[in-house]
Structure 1
Amino acid sequence: MFMNYVDYVLFHHQIPNLRSFKLTCNKFCAANRVHSWVSTVSHHKLRELHLHFFNQEPDVIPTSVYRCESLMMLKISSPRCAFNPPYSISLPSLTTLDFHGLRFLDEDLTQQFFSSLPALETLIIKGCEFHNHQKLVISLPSLRVLNIYAALFEPNELSSPIIKVCAPKLQFLSCETDSLPRQYILSNMPVLEVVMLNAEECGKPVLTLEEVHRNARNLLEDLVNVKKLYIPACLVKSLPHEDFMRRNLPFLTNLTYLEVFRPCSGRDILSVLQIMPNLEYLTFDKAYASSEDELTPYIGEMLPQCFQSRIKEIQINEYDGSLEDFPMIIFLLNNVPALKITTVIDSINDYGDPVETIWLRRNSLNS
């Protein structure tokens, strides 16, 4: 009944121009009928196309989707459906692309597709799987927003993948993967302001320490213009801390906000702050230290420059009252003269009590 109704609407009415077409189908919708519908609407100066399939057929996505020259927005949600576009695509007007749940199986085809969208400004890749990919390469001249969320890379015995992005107009980048990529390459991004990098785990230790430090230095050079930075603890731990202490790394002078996901040592936090002289806001999920003596080397000349004059607010998440939490909190309250507000957010206890927030002004522990 549903398929007959769609046939009637599309094939028995004259439709000069069609602004938007949204289609949700389950596995009982025949693929050939879906192909026919999409092919028909794509010839009516279609501007927006939303496709949501509950179907794992490899050919459920019509090839006509990739040849609609009037299309400006394309959203495809098809859990675990294979991404299999033609080698030749024509989407010259496309400015927004949203993929959800697709499976990318061919690295060359993926790279070719993400290099063939000249007008694309917003790219969202959510919950997608990448199989047999040593690299994920995205090269788009007009891209301004890139959001890669909950990306799953097929376990690789040799290494984690490389994520390479080349987008000279990019302003916002968010990349969340199942494990830390072997390398981030963010080239030619002079206007990039906000970067969010997150990973569920560190991944396999497939690189030498020298390679890890070299990749980290290159990443920092790519981030010199960023104003807000969100990074996981495992990435902070991979950075060359001896170079931080010598301040022998690129300085992120434009950075005013830093957030570190997941627990990290206090020494790691204080080391990375050495190259962020103008930081004003700092947030991290628990910074542990065995004692106050462990943080003593960072007093005096090695006190991060931002602590002396710039930092305004610090937020500490996942506080559980353990002894290893106190040294970092005491250090911050006693050694950051510019600090105005410290927020310590309690972790939820076993009874599910509401999260409690404690506001501590500088030196309040002594009052």
Structure 2
Amino acid sequence: MEANSLIQKSQKKQKLNEQQDIDGNSKCLGNLPEEILRHILSFLPTQDAFMTSVLSKRWEYLWASIPNLDFDILHSWHPNKRRNRTLFMNFVDRVFCLRDSSDIKRFTFCCDVLSAASRVNTWVISAVRHNVQELHIELQNCKGEFSLPYCLFTCKTLRSLDLDVRCILKLPTTVCFSNLKILTIGKVTFSNDYLTHQFFSGLPVLEKLKLNGCYWGGLKVLRISGPKLHFLRIGEFERENLSFRDGCQVMIFGVSLKEFNYCGSLLSKYCLYESLSLEKADIHIGYVNTSAQIAHRMYKLLTGLCNVEFLRLSPNVVKVLIHATQLLPHMPMFNNLVDLKFSASTYGFHFGGTSVDLDCEALLKILRRFPCLENLEFLGGLTLSSNCEEDDRILEPAPPCFSSHLKWIKVYYYDGDKKKLSAIKILLKKAVVLEKIVLISSLYPRKNLDNQVKVVCKQLMELPRGSQNCKIVLDWYDPSAKRREIVL
């Protein structure tokens, strides 16, 4: 009995100590300055921050001044969507109704518009009145033209704007984002030449611009410029019943432009001007159109990139240029280019096995425009077209960089295939100052993997090398998924 009594007392004491610890921690948290508490609450979803108001009187209105507001119904699931949407709308209204006068640092809302456009605009106006700095708007089910409040386009505190709305956006006649540095626009249709020009002219301090899936096919000219713009990404996606002949003329003036990315099918005509500061470019073509018109658009786009140091192209770029081989000798020299990658990736998605044909005439002609090239990568693999394996005319005459600057080559998806082996043989023969060629193997970790590696190594060792200092590095994974490397 005494033992049981002692155990019960010990358990009560333990629970009491645990409760004291919890109360003590709560008091310690409650004793923190309000500024720190608001900072802590800013990391919570807005709805969770709102629920802390029941903790105590001190917490009752802390949530009303948190710097970040995040409302998202599009990416959450609920069995009763209509009821959930009504509750969502009412909750946003309540938050703004009860909010104090403190500034909003970041405001995010994602929802269906349907017939609630006026409420959406009311939230934007409230955010602007609270000196919002970062604004992310994602809207679905917009009907017809959609307009945002005028005060947004003259907001002096806004530093970052992310607008993702599948609609025809009505623009005001006056735009002045005096502090906007980052602008991302997705799925928007620009329909008025003059107002679109006014919009892109009202960005005096813009540094980063991303246009994802926007449509300007109805415009004659789209002019993009900015004295401080150093990063530009354009993702152009196909739309139904859109003719390649009617493409808009997109004029990009990049006085301070450092990096330019394009992904699409050249539905519009792109030209870069004043891009002397351009250092890096990334061009991906998703759909190969065999017309000479599209090939000419690619030629014009590449011509504006002649000052880059780092260039990344998808294999489809070469396929498009096949239809403009007569123009390539007139393309300016890329005297600054030191790093060239042929990649099969598009905005982070990788499609392995999209190889480059070493016997492609367009490839040879563009390589001749890169006299100072030092690094060359084929991320999607390298091969030869049929019945060209033993033809000495491939890469003949060799591009100038092969005899003066090209020191490093990397090829992915190498498996010892006859055509791939022939392509490597040609590279080793022509690149007379090459220091290293790295082959990332696609050999599968099977029981006979060791034999596969031995065969591949033997094939590579027998290849003649134009550079006596060149090392061949074979890189593969063993059955335990460990990376292996051998230098030949």
The TM-score normalised by the length of structure 2 is: 0.62
1:280 equivalent to 2:374? Answer yes
Q: Note the 1:1-150 alignment, pairs <5 A.
A: 1-27=87-113, 30-58=116-144, 62-63=148-149, 64-78=151-165, 80-133=166-219, 135-150=221-236
- Which residue is equivalent to 2:36? none
- Which residue is equivalent to 1:156? 243
- Relative contact order: is structure 1 or structure 2 higher (C-alpha 8 Å, sep ≥ 6)? 1
Q: Residues 389 and 419 of structure 2 are in contact (CA less than 8 Å); yes or no, is this contact kept in structure 1?
A: no
Alignment partners' CA distance in 2, 1:39 and 1:320: 60
Q: Which of 228, 231, 235 lines up with 2:310 in the alignment? A: 228
Deviates more, 1:264-273 or 1:230-239: 230-239
Report how many aligned residue pairs link the two structures: 352
Q: Which of 161, 165, 169 lines up with 2:252 in the alignment? A: 165
Relative distance call for 1:249 and 1:124 in structure 2 (3 A) is: closer
Give the residue type in structure 1 aligned to 2:272.
L
Shift of 1:29: 7.5
Alignment partners' CA distance in 2, 1:159 and 1:90: 31
Q: Residues 98 and 124 of structure 1 are in contact (CA less than 8 Å); yes or no, is this contact kept in structure 2?
A: yes
Shift of 1:175: 0.8
Q: Which of 337, 353, 357 lines up with 1:265 in the alignment? A: 357
Relative distance call for 1:342 and 1:160 in structure 2 (3 A) is: farther
Shift of 1:59: 5.3
Give the residue type in structure 1 aligned to 2:404.
S
| Structure having the larger proportion of residues in strand | 1
How far does the alpha carbon of each residue in 1:33-71 deviate from its partner, in whole angstroms, 9 at most, with x for none?
111111122122221111122332345552243231221
Give the residue type in structure 1 aligned to 2:357.
S
How far does the alpha carbon of each residue in 1:247-302 deviate from its partner, in whole angstroms, 9 at most, with x for none?
66422111011123454432433332112121111123334233245452635xx2
Q: Residues 180 and 200 of structure 1 are in contact (CA less than 8 Å); yes or no, is this contact kept in structure 2?
A: no
- Which residue is equivalent to 1:352? none
Alignment partners' CA distance in 2, 1:362 and 1:110: 59
1:325 equivalent to 2:420? Answer yes
Give the residue type in structure 2 aligned to 1:275.
R
Shift of 1:205: 1.7
Which protein has the larger Cα radius of gyration, Structure 1 or Structure 2? 2
Relative distance call for 1:357 and 1:33 in structure 2 (3 A) is: farther
The TM-score normalised by the length of structure 1 is: 0.81
Q: Residues 342 and 377 of structure 2 are in contact (CA less than 8 Å); yes or no, is this contact kept in structure 1?
A: yes
Alignment partners' CA distance in 2, 1:37 and 1:26: 14
Say which SS state the counterpart of residue 42 (structure 1) adopts. helix
Give the residue type in structure 2 aligned to 1:224.
C
Shift of 1:129: 3.7
1:180 equivalent to 2:266? Answer yes
Shift of 1:195: 0.8
Q: Note the 1:185-334 alignment, pairs <5 A.
A: 185-203=271-289, 205=291, 207=293, 212=296, 216=299, 219=301, 221-237=303-319, 238=321, 241=325, 249-261=331-343, 262-267=354-359, 268-284=362-378, 285=380, 286-289=382-385, 290-296=387-393, 298-299=395-396, 302-317=397-412, 323-334=418-429
Give the residue type in structure 1 aligned to 2:253.
C
Shift of 1:15: 1.0
Relative distance call for 1:362 and 1:280 in structure 2 (3 A) is: farther
Give the residue type in structure 2 aligned to 1:24.
C
Say which SS state the counterpart of residue 230 (structure 1) adopts. strand
- Mark the runs of 5 or more structure 2 residues left unpaired by the alignment: 1-86, 344-353, 445-451, 464-487
Alignment partners' CA distance in 2, 1:236 and 1:192: 22
Q: Residues 343 and 357 of structure 1 are in contact (CA less than 8 Å); yes or no, is this contact kept in structure 2?
A: no
| Structure having the larger proportion of residues in helix | 2
Shift of 1:32: 1.1
Say which SS state the counterpart of residue 114 (structure 1) adopts. helix
Say which SS state the counterpart of residue 298 (structure 1) adopts. coil
Q: Residues 252 and 276 of structure 1 are in contact (CA less than 8 Å); yes or no, is this contact kept in structure 2?
A: yes
Q: CA RMSD in A?
A: 3.6
How far does the alpha carbon of each residue in 1:107-129 deviate from its partner, in whole angstroms, 9 at most, with x for none?
55434322321111101122334
Q: Residues 244 and 267 of structure 2 are in contact (CA less than 8 Å); yes or no, is this contact kept in structure 1?
A: no
How far does the alpha carbon of each residue in 1:131-163 deviate from its partner, in whole angstroms, 9 at most, with x for none?
424554312222111111353356216254443
Give the fraction of aligned pairs with identical amino acids, expressed as a percent. 26
- Mark the runs of 5 or more structure 1 residues left unpaired by the alignment: 350-355
Q: Which of 409, 421, 436 lines up with 1:341 in the alignment? A: 436
Alignment partners' CA distance in 2, 1:256 and 1:113: 37
Q: Residues 334 and 363 of structure 1 are in contact (CA less than 8 Å); yes or no, is this contact kept in structure 2?
A: no
